[in-house]
């Protein structure tokens, strides 16, 4: 958590006359959108109208969240996003550790004179004016709740805040399953339910909204899953032509990589996907136990993330990318 001195300085900045902007990472997920909107709704209870900005668009299954439609999407509204960041006195940076993770917003945020406040659970955060970084917490949404607790403001948590924070904790813990899910996480989730977050509605809004294109893509991917390294590594992949053929929509492939890890005996699962528009391969890594995907993605695939969940990019053909991956992963000691 921030120190008491930092909390007091931050609260001095959080006054209605100051312009507050909240930014989150490229390809926002449930935790990115949930923490940003949750914080926005919290600030509103203090009379502050914050603007949430994302670098690019986010999946449809997150658009049910309160005020998701008011989010400024940088790739569609460059001017609005640029001006808001330029005029900001305070910028909250949520769920990312480096300006390189916020795409087109990176330069603007770096150059801005605003005080930058980081709340994030990724490894190795870069320099910000105020840093609350904790890699043991499963979701940035949980950290936003801890921030509210540090301000002794739990009584201000309303149904909008509760729904948003619940969603991010649920998605970033894979439905309260991943390793860093703790008793504290469950206590906070219990508080959020008491404040009005409805688990059945949130789950159904977020996860029971599969499109037919997603299920067809999933069947294709599962049909050709490959095991290497004595069954310890599962490989899944999709080509751009297949995405087009099945009418790919943003978010359609979210979570595919986890099916690789559900195989008995696997320690790591990797999903390779040709980007729909640009010439690179987007890679998702997931692992069990102490197999460190963050180190692996950083070392070989221009990426990073958490120990058990990371991402990266590679600038070769998908076939060559998978070949390079197989070579590298055989050298790893697990
Ligand atoms: P996903 O596989 O769902 O895209 O990402 C998994 C995790 O890795 C997320 O926490 C995300 O923030 C991080 N991540 C994804 N792609 C990248 C990347 O290109 N660079 C870095 N540093 N982290 C990434
Ligand atoms: Mn997160």
Regarding whether 255 and 169 lie in a shared domain, the answer is: no
Distance 313 CA to ligand 1 centre (A): 9
Regarding whether 221 and 188 lie in a shared domain, the answer is: no
313 CA: nearest ligand 1 atom: 19
State which of 36, 259, 304 you would mutate to test the pocket of ligand 1, scoring each by most atoms of that ligand within 8 A of its C-beta: 304
Residue nearest to atom 11 of ligand 1 (CA): 305
Which residues approach ligand 1 with their CB closer than 6 A?
25, 101, 284, 303-306, 309-313
User: For residue 325, with 0-12 CB atoms within 10 Å meaning exposed, 13-18 middle and 19 or more buried, which class applies?
Assistant: buried
Regarding whether 220 and 201 lie in a shared domain, the answer is: no
Note the ligand closest to the C-alpha atom of 310: 1
* Total domain count, the chain: 2
Helix axes 159-172, 30-44, angle to 10 degrees: 160
- Please list, in sequence order, all residues whose beta carbon lies within 8 angstroms of the beta carbon of residue 141, skipping any fewer than 6 positions away: 31, 34, 35, 38, 164, 165, 166, 167, 168, 169, 172
Note the ligand closest to the C-alpha atom of 306: 1
Distance 241 CA to ligand 2 centre (A): 30
Question: What pLDDT score was predicted for residue 250?
Answer: 85
Domain boundary among 207, 238, 269: 207
Regarding whether 241 and 134 lie in a shared domain, the answer is: no
What residues does 132 pair with on adjacent strands? Answer: 119
Domain ranges, residue 88: 4-207
User: Could you list the pLDDT tens digit for every one of the 334 residues in the chain?
Assistant: 999 999 999 999 999 999 999 999 999 999 999 999 999 999 999 999 999 999 999 999 999 999 999 999 999 999 999 999 999 999 999 999 999 999 999 999 999 999 999 999 999 999 999 999 999 999 999 999 999 999 999 999 999 999 999 999 999 999 999 989 999 999 999 999 999 999 999 999 999 999 899 999 999 999 999 999 999 999 999 999 999 999 998 889 999 999 999 999 999 999 999 999 999 999 999 999 999 999 999 999 999 999 999 999 999 999 999 999 999 999 999 9
Regarding whether 229 and 107 lie in a shared domain, the answer is: no
Regarding whether 254 and 196 lie in a shared domain, the answer is: no
Domain boundary among 177, 207, 237: 207
Regarding whether 252 and 189 lie in a shared domain, the answer is: no
Note the ligand closest to the C-alpha atom of 134: 2
Regarding whether 184 and 278 lie in a shared domain, the answer is: no
Residue nearest to atom 7 of ligand 1 (CA): 310
State which of 106, 305, 307, 321 you would mutate to test the pocket of ligand 1, scoring each by most atoms of that ligand within 8 A of its C-beta: 305
Regarding whether 227 and 191 lie in a shared domain, the answer is: no
List own/partner pairs for 193-201 with CB under 8 A and 24 or more apart: 193/162, 193/166, 195/157, 195/158, 195/159, 195/161, 195/162, 196/158, 196/159, 196/162, 196/163, 197/159, 197/162, 197/163, 197/165, 197/166, 198/163, 199/166, 199/170
Task: Tell me how far apart the terminal alpha carbons of the chain are, to the nearest angstrom.
Answer: 34
Regarding whether 158 and 252 lie in a shared domain, the answer is: no
Question: What pLDDT score was predicted for residue 251?
Answer: 87
Question: What pLDDT score was predicted for residue 227?
Answer: 98
CATH number at residue 303: 3.10.310.30
Regarding whether 183 and 228 lie in a shared domain, the answer is: no
Residue nearest to atom 6 of ligand 1 (CA): 310
Distance 172 CA to ligand 2 centre (A): 6
Residue nearest to atom 10 of ligand 1 (CA): 305
Kindly report the pTM of this predicted structure: 0.94
Regarding whether 238 and 139 lie in a shared domain, the answer is: no
CATH number at residue 83: 3.90.1640.10
Question: What pLDDT score was predicted for residue 179?
Answer: 87
State which of 103, 260, 310, 315 you would mutate to test the pocket of ligand 1, scoring each by most atoms of that ligand within 8 A of its C-beta: 310
Domain boundary among 207, 230, 258: 207
């Amino acid at each position: 958590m921030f120190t008491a001195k930092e909390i007091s300085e931050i609260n001095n900045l959080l006054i209605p006359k100051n312009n507050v902007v909240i930014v989150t990472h490229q390809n926002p997920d449930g935790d990115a959108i949930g923490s940003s909107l949750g914080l926005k709704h919290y600030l509103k209870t203090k009379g502050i109208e914050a603007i949430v900005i994302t670098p690019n668009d986010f999946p449809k299954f997150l658009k049910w969240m309160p005020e998701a439609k008011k989010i400024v999407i940088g790739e569609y509204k460059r001017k609005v996003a640029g001006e808001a960041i330029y005029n900001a006195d305070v910028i909250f940076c949520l769920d990312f550790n480096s300006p390189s993770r916020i795409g087109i917003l990176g330069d603007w945020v770096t150059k801005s004179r605003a005080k930058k406040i980081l709340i994030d659970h990724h490894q190795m955060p870069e320099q910000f004016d105020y840093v609350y970084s904790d890699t043991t917490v499963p979701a940035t949404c949980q950290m936003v709740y801890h921030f509210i607790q540090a301000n002794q403001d739990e009584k201000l948590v309303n149904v909008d805040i509760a729904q948003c924070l619940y969603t991010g904790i649920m998605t970033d813990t894979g439905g309260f399953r991943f390793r860093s899910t703790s008793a504290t996480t469950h206590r906070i989730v219990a508080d959020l339910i008491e404040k009005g977050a409805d688990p059945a509605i949130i789950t159904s809004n977020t996860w029971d909204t599969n499109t037919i294109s997603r299920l067809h893509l999933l069947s294709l991917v599962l049909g050709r899953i490959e095991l290497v390294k004595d069954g310890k590594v599962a490989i899944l992949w999709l080509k751009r032509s297949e995405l087009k053929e099945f009418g790919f929509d943003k978010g359609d492939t979210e979570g595919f990589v986890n099916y690789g890890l559900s195989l008995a005996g696997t320690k790591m699962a990797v999903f390779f996907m040709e980007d729909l528009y640009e010439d690179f391969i987007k890679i998702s890594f997931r692992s069990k136990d102490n197999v460190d995907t963050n180190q692996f993605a950083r070392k070989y695939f221009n990426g990073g993330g958490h120990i058990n969940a990371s991402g990266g990019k590679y600038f070769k053909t998908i076939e060559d990318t998978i070949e390079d991956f197989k070579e590298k992963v055989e050298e790893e000691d697990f």
